[in-house]
Amino acid sequence: MTDNLSDQQLEQRETEFQQRIDAEEKIEPKDWMPEKYRQNLIRQMSQHAHSEVIGMQPEGNWITRAPTLHRKAILLAKVQDEGGHGLYLYSAAETLGISREELIASLHSGSAKYASIFNYPTLSWADIGAIGWLVDGAAICNQVSLQRTSYGPYSRGMVRICKEESFHQRQGYHIMMTLARGSAEQKEMAQDALNRFWWPSLMMFGPHDADSVHSAQSMKWKIKRQSNDELRQKFVDQSVKQAEVIELELPDPDLKWNEERGHYDFGEIDWEEFKRSMTGGGPCSRQRLAHNIQAHDDGAWVREAMRAYESKKREAKDQAVA
């Protein structure tokens, strides 16, 4: 796209581009954009899409074992929604001139990332509640903010996705509430799920702003609208109240209301664990990727058959015309 531009023209374009961003104009697929903007978006959007798709696994793990038919139907619909989100996001990423096959290939090669939270196992039914409440809750904080992202197709995708996410969070919270008000065993199950998913949920917002490689440029281009730490704070503040209502305890001894800041202070995240989990060392990292690769490989003959059938049909049609 930029091949034939002189340095001077390129600089001019970039200035104009930044002016459009500053004026809150949306960038559309056919508009000129700096190559780095495009790359940055592909990275972020594909990471987002892969997270939706990989996230189907830990929750899918409980579809066949859901405790009631009503919960089963809700969970199945919820996991299906997440797959749908993946689909929108892949399509939105494709408007940047990259194919879904390429995106999936970089997931499988390990060069593209997905949210590290999905590398934790779902060990009890309460984990389904914890994921809906916390993981979808954290995702909403992020995605509400991303509704104002500068790239048009991404922004519109987020608007659509956010509508479904709040239903996801409600159903998760409702599972937790039911357990917390249930038998001693159920309450313990809920608390245990919260203990295991709380810190990984905070990690979903990424490194501290000061340590985030892509953050500054992403904010300038308004790909991101709020910083990792701002969003994390918002999430902590809202979760404290929600936990209080159902009388579960957030597993952080340093959690305390700070009058001066008007926010809750909270303890430091174990960044070593975060790094491990992001780089293939989470408890289920290898399993999640292997599962996705297996499904893709098992489906290869189906996709091939579909292509072969379509091309035979086209040939037959062409022959009929000729």
Partner 1 sequence: MSTDNPVSQYAVRLADDALILGHRLSEWCSRGPFLEEDLALSNVALDYIGRARMFYGYAAELSGDDRSEDDFAFLRDCRDFGNLLIHELPRGDFAFTMARQYLVDVHSVAFMTDLQSSTDATLAAIAGKAVKESNYHLRRSRDWMLRLGGGTEESHRRLQHAVDELWGFTPEMFEMDELEKSLAGQGVAVDVSRLQPAWDTEVRATLAAANMSIPEEDWQVSGGRQGKHTEWLGHLLSDLQFMQRAYPGLEW
By CB under 5 A, residue 82 contacts Fe ion: yes
| Residues within window 18-57 making contact with Fe ion, judged by CB under 5 A | 52
By CB under 5 A, residue 168 contacts Fe ion: yes
Q: Which does 136 bind (CB under 5 to 8 A by kind): partner 1, Fe ion, none?
A: Fe ion
Q: Which does 298 bind (CB under 5 to 8 A by kind): partner 1, Fe ion, none?
A: partner 1
CB of 59 to partner 1, least distance (A): 9
CB of 135 to Fe ion, least distance (A): 8
31/25 Cα distance (integer angstroms): 11
**Which pair of tokens denotes residue 154?**
């991404």
Q: Which does 85 bind (CB under 5 to 8 A by kind): Fe ion, partner 1, none?
A: Fe ion
| Residues at the site binding partner 1, with contacts judged by CB under 8 A | 53, 56-57, 60, 63-73, 76-77, 79-80, 83-84, 86-87, 90, 125, 175, 178-179, 182-183, 185-186, 291-292, 294-295, 298-306, 308-309, 312
CB of 312 to Fe ion, least distance (A): 37
By CB under 5 A, residue 196 contacts Fe ion: no
* Cβ proximity to partner 1, 125 vs 154, nearer residue: 125
User: Per residue, what are the HEC states of the chain?
Assistant: CCCCCCHHHHHHHHHHHHHHHHCCCCECCCCCCCHHHHHHHHHHHHHHHHHHHHCHHHHHCCCCCCCCHHHHHHHHHHHHHHHHHHHHHHHHHHCCCCCHHHHHHHHHHCCCCCCHHHHCCCCCHHHHHHHHHHHHHHHHHHHHHHCCCCEHHHHHHHHHHHHHHHHHHHHHHHHHHHHHCCCHHHHHHHHHHHHHHHHHHHHCCCCCHHHCCCHHHHHHCCCCCCCHHHHHHHHHHHHHHHHHHCCCCCCCCCCEEECCCCEEECCCCCHHHHHHHHHHHCCCHHHHHHHHHHHHHHCHHHHHHHHHHHHHHHHHHHHHHC
Q: Which does 268 bind (CB under 5 to 8 A by kind): Fe ion, partner 1, none?
A: none
* Cβ proximity to partner 1, 100 vs 113, nearer residue: 100
Q: Which does 203 bind (CB under 5 to 8 A by kind): Fe ion, partner 1, none?
A: none
By CB under 5 A, residue 127 contacts Fe ion: no
CB of 281 to partner 1, least distance (A): 22
- Considering only CA atoms, which of 49, 141, 54 is closest in space to residue 95? 49
CB of 304 to partner 1, least distance (A): 6
Q: Which does 12 bind (CB under 5 to 8 A by kind): Fe ion, partner 1, none?
A: none
By CB under 5 A, residue 222 contacts Fe ion: no
Q: Which does 127 bind (CB under 5 to 8 A by kind): Fe ion, partner 1, none?
A: none
Please report, as ranges, the residues that interact with Fe ion according to CB under 5 A: 52, 82, 85, 136, 165, 168
